[in-house]
A and B are shown apart, each in its own frame.
With several copies, the nearest count.
Chain A
Amino acid sequence: MTSRLSPSQMAWRAAQDIEDGAYVNLGIGFPEMVAKFQPSGRQAIFHTENGILGFGEAPPHGEEDWDLINAGKKAVTLKPGTAFFHHADSFAMVRGGHLDVAILGAYEVAETGDLANWSTGPKGVPAVGGAMDLVHGARRVAVITDHVTKDGKPKLLQRCTLPLTGVGCVTRVYSSHAVIDVFNGRFVLREKLPSFTLGALQSMTGATLHLDGPAADLVVPDL
């Protein structure tokens, strides 16, 4: 019985919601794994902030071309139909709402759809990258995140406590325990691990989980 989804499993679940032909930006880190789990017969077109649309997977080790990288500075490859463009055109795609889906990581998500994923506070060197643009850049802004912090504290909250990345921007959360939509300022539970009762899940969540019909079982393959 699964007690929590691995990052790969969360990525797999997120991948199931991506339509054939969708334009998708995957944030640096866990979200990048979503590309590996596209259901067969569907092909999304991936956008990266640094000016590539329609790139392919990583090249074999030793065959990297360091002029052909993604926003995480990892080497990628060409596919038929790839296009290059400069950074202003790239963010025109983002800010102009031309992406279908952006999938990001999160420190905290609020039931209002607020997202905090760029700063853990005033210590250290702040860095934002493209996160604040991406949260306004897609029809669907999804988050992949553990349901709770390493200390067991909820990451899904009534209000974020960390500096915001964007206000009211998240539309769906793929957590280690559930699939939750953000709708009209509320968390709406869509799927949960069968091994958790609603009550158990609620106790790990910092805001009320609403139901819109019964929550389906969150079932993913071993990965």
Chain B
Amino acid sequence: MDKTLPNLPTAVAGIRDGMTVMIGGFGGSGAPIELIHALIDRYVATGHPKGLTVVNNNAGNGHVGLAALIEVGMVAKLICSFPRSADPVVFTERYLAGQIELELVPQGTLAERIRAGGAGIPAFYTPTSYGTDLAKGKPVEVFEGRSYVQERWLKADYALVKAHLGDRLGNLTYRMAARNFNPLMCMAAANTIVQVSRMVAPGEIDPETVITPGIFVQGVVEIPHPAQEETLNRDGASYPEVAA
């Protein structure tokens, strides 16, 4: 079995109009910039995919990565916890103009809904958001004298994930706090596509230190020296690059 993908265009070729796509990362850490940009390349060349529902903690920063995906007009709906950043202009303008739908989810609930999607748990109860506007319309139940809100699983057609080491079986490790939502999204998507900084042979990752076992991964593409969103933004980058 070999889940290695030869290049970025192949990696994102299966994503179709209207699909739900989870994108890993918390701010820029763990954001699969190269996969996102490959998806933008496809859209620029073909007009597809569009009308995507994207799941991410944030809503992009500056004009690269997720922000660029929104800016070119591929995203119909965003499910996130914190659509603010140092430079949130792209999402903000589209949201205020009614051009993009927002489902705001508390961060821990977002993480748990994604895990639930991967773990076959269709619903669970959490104290989070009880008594707030974000609980409106959701079932409430009392357990042991305390009120809890029922939340539902989140699944996706695709997950775009950034990892550190990977092998052809799909086993993954992450780098520091770039782990964040990535391992959860691997579990919750029908197709999980991962960019890794380095491909290694099976067995080179100590079985004790595998964070995402290969069963949750469908494709792996090696992207050495991946871009950091934070660095790109400090350099004033935008994507697609504007011809000078």
| A→B interface (CB under 8 Å) | 20-21, 23, 43, 45, 47-54, 64-69, 71, 73, 78-99, 114, 119, 124-133, 136-137, 163-167
Q: Across the interface, do B83 and A125 meet the contact criterion of CB distance under 8 Å?
A: yes
Q: A86-B181, A129-B82, A132-B106 are in contact. Are A163 and B207 (CB under 8 A)?
A: no
Closest to B203 in A: A80
Q: Bound complex: CA of A85 vs CA of B129, how far in Å?
A: 24
Which one of A71, A84, A98, A167 lies within 8 Å of B216 (CB-CB)? A98
Flag whether B179 is at the interface (Cβ < 8 A).
Answer: yes
Flag whether B102 is at the interface (Cβ < 8 A).
Answer: yes
Query: How many chain-B residues does the 8 Å CB contact rule pick out?
Result: 75
Q: A81-B202, A86-B183, A128-B104 are in contact. Are A67 and B178 (CB under 8 A)?
A: yes
Contacts of A119 in B (CB 8 A): 133
Q: A21-B1, A66-B228, A128-B81 are in contact. Are A133 and B109 (CB under 8 A)?
A: yes
Q: Across the interface, do B215 and A45 meet the contact criterion of CB distance under 8 Å?
A: yes
13 pairs across A/B with beta carbons < 8 Å?
A: A43-B1, A51-B179, A54-B169, A81-B214, A86-B211, A90-B111, A95-B108, A95-B121, A125-B84, A128-B106, A130-B106, A136-B120, A163-B132
Flag whether B138 is at the interface (Cβ < 8 A).
Answer: no
Contacts of B180 in A (CB 8 A): 50-51, 86-87
Q: Across the interface, do A88 and B169 meet the contact criterion of CB distance under 8 Å?
A: no
> 4 more A-B contacts (CB under 8 A) besides A87-B110, A129-B106?
A67-B177, A91-B111, A98-B215, A163-B133
> How many inter-chain residue pairs (CB < 8 Å) link A and B?
211
Contacts of A94 in B (CB 8 A): 108, 120
Closest to B204 in A: A80
Contacts of B59 in A (CB 8 A): 125
Q: Bound complex: CA of A165 vs CA of B134, how far in Å?
A: 9
Flag whether B239 is at the interface (Cβ < 8 A).
Answer: no
Which one of B84, B131, B169 lies within 8 Å of A167 (CB-CB)? B131
Q: Bound complex: CA of A48 vs CA of B29, how far in Å?
A: 14
Flag whether B73 is at the interface (Cβ < 8 A).
Answer: no
Q: Bound complex: CA of A121 vs CA of B229, how far in Å?
A: 31
Q: Bound complex: CA of A24 vs CA of B72, how far in Å?
A: 41
Which one of B106, B176, B202, B229 lies within 8 Å of A68 (CB-CB)? B176
Contacts of A163 in B (CB 8 A): 132-133
Which residues in window 69-91 of B have CB below 8 A to A?
Answer: 81-86, 88, 91
Q: A68-B176, A95-B126, A132-B128 are in contact. Are A47 and B109 (CB under 8 A)?
A: no
Contacts of B119 in A (CB 8 A): 88, 91-92, 95-96
Q: Across the interface, do B1 and A45 meet the contact criterion of CB distance under 8 Å?
A: yes
Bitwise, B159-196 to A at CB < 8 A (1) or not (0) is 00000000101010011111111111001000000000
Bitwise, B103-135 to A at CB < 8 A (1) or not (0) is 011111111101101111100001111111110
Which one of A23, A50, A79, A88 lies within 8 Å of B177 (CB-CB)? A50
Bitwise, B224-235 to A at CB < 8 A (1) or not (0) is 000011110000
Closest to A119 in B: B133
Q: Across the interface, do A130 and B107 meet the contact criterion of CB distance under 8 Å?
A: yes
Contacts of B228 in A (CB 8 A): 66-67
Which one of B81, B117, B215 lies within 8 Å of A47 (CB-CB)? B215
